[in-house]
Chains A and B, each alone.
Chain A
Amino acid sequence: MTAITARVGGIRWTDPKTVGIAGIALGALAFWLALPPLASRTQLLPILLGLLAIAAGIWTWSREQHRIGGGAVAAGVLGILFGVLATRSSEAHLDTVVVWSALLAATLRYATPLTFAAIGGLFCERSGVINVALEGMLLTGAFFGIWGAIWAHGWAPGWEWVIGLITAALAGMAMAAVHAFWAIHLKVDQIISGTAINFLALGITGYIFIDKYGDSGTPGNVADYGIPDVHLHFLNNWYFIGPILGQLNLMIWLSFVLLIATYIFVFRTPYGLRLRSVGEHPRAADTVGISVYKIRYMAVIASGAIAAMGGAYLSLGFVHSFNENMTSGTGFIGLAALVFGKWRPFPTWCATLLFGFSSALSDRLPNAYGNQWGTLFNALPYVLTIVAVAGVIGRSIGPAAAGRPYEKQ
């Protein structure tokens, strides 16, 4: 069997990995075919495709490619499940929910704060410091971003969102500095100091919010000077891409830039090499003269700034207001995306897109199906992450020295 290696188009079609990936694609296809615009009505189709996916997965698994094989089996099962559900739902409902352009645009909007949070977490954890305080940093950025913008409205009109982003970043850095000092110098357990930051962020932002904006909440005109959308007029008449990419917020475009910059920095520059060395084996880095403490401080504080900017996007670019605990778990989804994406920028981004898609779907489902299904869908990112952590989609192993304070001798 394995002796046959047909090479077509440069891809070994009978290579287990290829078969496994094809299985995952088949599973996705099983679901997609049942959705608009194709909206196939036969239950047979998703079931068949899903079974093929499962078969591919099992074959791949037996050829020692456990992770991809498991992924294909999972995709097959989910494909059958959702595909059949979709075929049983009415066409009208499907059409209401699955408006692809709106869905994908919403996906990008939901994914962006996740991206910022996850990338912030990436820097921090790659240096060896666990960061469960992404939620707190996101929230801090959300509040201080809008606070800064409102404050700037008085004396720097036109620049509000820039000032807001700066104040958000500064506040995030301050929170992160506390986490850094506690974790690096005082060598306190990093999960505890991270949890403390989450509490502090919640309490401080809530306290100052109520104190300053009390019963009336943040001013209603923030939408006028929030982070602007980028209007790409030349895309206006493009059939599918237009509605998705034509009107995205600046921060969404920035998130793409952030991803690329992060990839280059971490994997293609000497600084990134040192960052990773500090996270994998700090003692080895120390013996070649790298300052472990300095790099860790910079990484943690940078993560605070980046995550906070993601929060600023939420309050200044998305909903244009602030409410107590408005992030409610987004930071943790970001952490989940980071784990799911194995601490690498692009897989993490795929995870944020997946989770963003799930949020976007949960937003639209109530239109057709009533509240409950939308609510339940919100749990999907967390379920997927547990599956990832359980190793079905692959063991998520982080930087080797993550979580251990470094003792300089």
Chain B
Amino acid sequence: MADAPLLELRAITKRFPGVLANDDVNFDLRRGEVHALLGENGAGKSTLMNILYGLYTPDTGEIMLDGKHIDLGSTKAAIEHGIGMVHQHFMLIPVMTVAENIVLATEPRRMGVLLDYDAARKRVRELSERYGLAVDPDARIDRITVGQQQRVEILKALYRGAEILILDEPTAVLTPQEAQELFEIIRSLKSQGKSIIFISHKLNEVLDIADRITTLRRGVVVDTVPAAGATEEGLARMMVGREVLLRVDKHPAHPGEPLLQVENLSVFDDRGLEAVRDVSLQVRGGEIVGLAGVDANGQSELIDAIAGLRRPASGRIVVDGHDLTHANAKEAIEAGVGHIPEDRHRRGLVLPFSLTENIALHGYRTPPNSRHGFLNLGAMLSRARRLLKEFDVRGGQPSTLAGALSGGNQQKVVLAREIDGDPKVLIAAQPTRGLDVGAIEFVHRRLVEQRDAGRAVFLVSLELEEILSLSDRILVIYEGRLVGEFPPTATEEELGFAMTGGGRGDEEAA
């Protein structure tokens, strides 16, 4: 490892309307190291890396490569300087082959005008062998796995001569095995002299793969520490700035009868693969059951099935005695299933609708909101007023468009609507994603309130602290199966272990 850093970002500041994303950030990268950039959502990690990749220009500060000042006004410039980025959302063209995607814009040519596909294929194979990234150059992107797609993205960067690789939350879309494979690849790249910036918010991964760790919090660098000797608690403290992670004050639960019963449920995902395998669970009235798991392990499909948005392949769903296995969304809602969807912009709210109309989205078919097909605007308005007040929604009147509210207030509207529907079972999917601390607290309090009112609350979240602080019982899902049940006193290690498939036999394939 050379002593002088390969790459230095000095005093980088970047401001967006209303938000200071990067505040006087200093960051350096040594040759051949893996340097992790750690922080919560909104800490400024992506902004910093986008600046490095030429997508944004910093307001102040400079970038030095090998001791020389460089200007990165465009991604082209960044690529020319040997900086490659693997985005969280892959920039791959689904209907084209691996080779075509990799050589795009720098294609090898035959006779000057024709595309030399054989040369491209050959080059891809060479790179693939050199760096240990096994891919089939002729496979179509939409037919290979996510892990393989990621390898194609890495190859894209390497093909263009990247010496510095930025990986933006690479494990967010991978299964645990694929993540381990990725780490192997990173180690191999490291041994070949590449330098890697690894963006993440997952403490255990960062400790596993990085040499040094820089923590960002609210746009400011907290510290840069070597990975050896760092602990998860220490890192968490740097990331979050609090000793103790948020725990909600709550009374013990008094669960009653099971209101949600799922028996031997099997659900297929959009690609025809079995996403939920033989899952049985129950949630009783008066308890919060938390479902923990790595993203894309079947949670979405499970929720969709319960909410009537997806047909199960087999099994049963019973809500308060009613068999809802073959119900559609409308019937599920009428039977008492409330659903706070995981994406409030795309699924929870109609942004160009007013708050009144959004609230009416649940219940517009029944009196007093409507009679014989005619809407009763007065009733809708008074209901909206009542709910906006009760849920302390700020930033607008009932006639304000939903799109004008902040994320936290938007989520409050969704909550208000679902809770006002008096559901027997309330599904909360990622209810605090992208929210600030105050809004998170509010949502948590309300969920506990619903539990105390006797409802069955089914919380599905990717955030372990949320699960641990809210749930009365914790289930873990891994590759579509329930692999464990834990009390709320379980540790993050125990849960993490189960979430990544530990403790089970190696029976099934991905």
B109 to chain A: closest residue by CB: A270
A409 to B91, alpha carbons, bound, how many Å? 15
Q: Which of A253-299 contact B (CB under 8 A)?
A: 264, 268-270, 272-274, 276-277, 280-281, 283-290
- Answer whether residue A400 sits at the interface, using C-beta atoms and an 8 A cutoff: yes
Q: For chain B, give the interface size range.
A: 20 to 34
Q: A269-B113, A285-B104 are in contact. Are A277 and B96 (CB under 8 A)?
A: yes
Interface of B is mostly: loop
How far is the CB of B349 from the nearest CB of chain A, in Å?
Answer: 22
Q: A268-B114, A268-B115, A269-B115 are in contact. Are A288 and B104 (CB under 8 A)?
A: yes
Q: A264 to chain B: which residues have CB within 8 Å?
A: 114
A2 to B114, alpha carbons, bound, how many Å? 41
How far is the CB of A272 from the nearest CB of chain B, in Å?
Answer: 8
A399 to chain B: closest residue by CB: B95
- Answer whether residue B75 sits at the interface, using C-beta atoms and an 8 A cutoff: yes
User: Which among A268, A269, A288 has the highest number of chain B CB atoms within 10 Å?
Assistant: A288
- Do B94 and A269 have beta carbons less than 8 Å apart? no
How far is the CB of B71 from the nearest CB of chain A, in Å?
Answer: 16
- Answer whether residue B107 sits at the interface, using C-beta atoms and an 8 A cutoff: yes
- Do B75 and A289 have beta carbons less than 8 Å apart? yes
Q: Binary interface profile of B, 93-119, with partner A (CB < 8 Å = 1, else 0)?
A: 111100011001111010001110000
Q: A274 to chain B: which residues have CB within 8 Å?
A: 104-105
Q: A290-B104, A409-B55 are in contact. Are A273 and B115 (CB under 8 A)?
A: yes
How far is the CB of B99 from the nearest CB of chain A, in Å?
Answer: 10
How far is the CB of A95 from the nearest CB of chain B, in Å?
Answer: 48
- Do B92 and A281 have beta carbons less than 8 Å apart? yes
- Do B100 and A273 have beta carbons less than 8 Å apart? yes
Q: For chain A, give the interface size range.
A: 20 to 34
B87 to chain A: closest residue by CB: A287
Q: Which of B451-497 contact A (CB under 8 A)?
A: none
How far is the CB of A177 from the nearest CB of chain B, in Å?
Answer: 25
Interface of A is mostly: helix
- Which of these, B79, B90, B104, B106, contacts A277 with CB under 8 Å? B104
User: Which among A274, A283, A287 has the highest number of chain B CB atoms within 10 Å?
Assistant: A287
How far is the CB of B104 from the nearest CB of chain A, in Å?
Answer: 5
A284 to B75, alpha carbons, bound, how many Å? 12
- Do B105 and A284 have beta carbons less than 8 Å apart? no
- Do B104 and A280 have beta carbons less than 8 Å apart? no
Q: B55 to chain A: which residues have CB within 8 Å?
A: 409
A49 to B105, alpha carbons, bound, how many Å? 51
How far is the CB of A37 from the nearest CB of chain B, in Å?
Answer: 44
A265 to chain B: closest residue by CB: B113
Q: B254 to chain A: which residues have CB within 8 Å?
A: none
Q: A273-B115, A284-B91 are in contact. Are A290 and B105 (CB under 8 A)?
A: yes
- Do B94 and A400 have beta carbons less than 8 Å apart? yes
- Do A281 and B94 have beta carbons less than 8 Å apart? yes
- Answer whether residue B330 sits at the interface, using C-beta atoms and an 8 A cutoff: no
- Do A289 and B92 have beta carbons less than 8 Å apart? no
A272 to B113, alpha carbons, bound, how many Å? 10
A51 to B209, alpha carbons, bound, how many Å? 66
How far is the CB of A293 from the nearest CB of chain B, in Å?
Answer: 14
Q: B160 to chain A: which residues have CB within 8 Å?
A: 288
A264 to chain B: closest residue by CB: B114
Q: A269 to chain B: which residues have CB within 8 Å?
A: 113-115
- Answer whether residue B371 sits at the interface, using C-beta atoms and an 8 A cutoff: no
- Do A400 and B76 have beta carbons less than 8 Å apart? no
- Do B91 and A281 have beta carbons less than 8 Å apart? yes
Q: A269-B113, A273-B100, A409-B55 are in contact. Are A280 and B93 (CB under 8 A)?
A: yes
A289 to B106, alpha carbons, bound, how many Å? 10
Q: Binary interface profile of B, 244-261, with partner A (CB < 8 Å = 1, else 0)?
A: 000000000000000000
A273 to B108, alpha carbons, bound, how many Å? 12
A288 to B79, alpha carbons, bound, how many Å? 8
**Chain B residues within 8 Å of A, Cβ to Cβ:** 55, 74-76, 79, 85, 87, 90-96, 100-101, 104-107, 109, 113-115, 156, 160
9 A-B pairs with CB atoms under 8 Å apart are A268-B115, A280-B95, A284-B90, A285-B93, A285-B105, A286-B75, A288-B79, A288-B156, A290-B105
**Chain A residues within 8 Å of B, Cβ to Cβ:** 264, 268-270, 272-274, 276-277, 280-281, 283-290, 400, 409
Q: A277-B96, A289-B74, A289-B105 are in contact. List 5 more A-B contacts (CB 8 A).
A: A273-B107, A273-B115, A281-B92, A284-B101, A288-B156
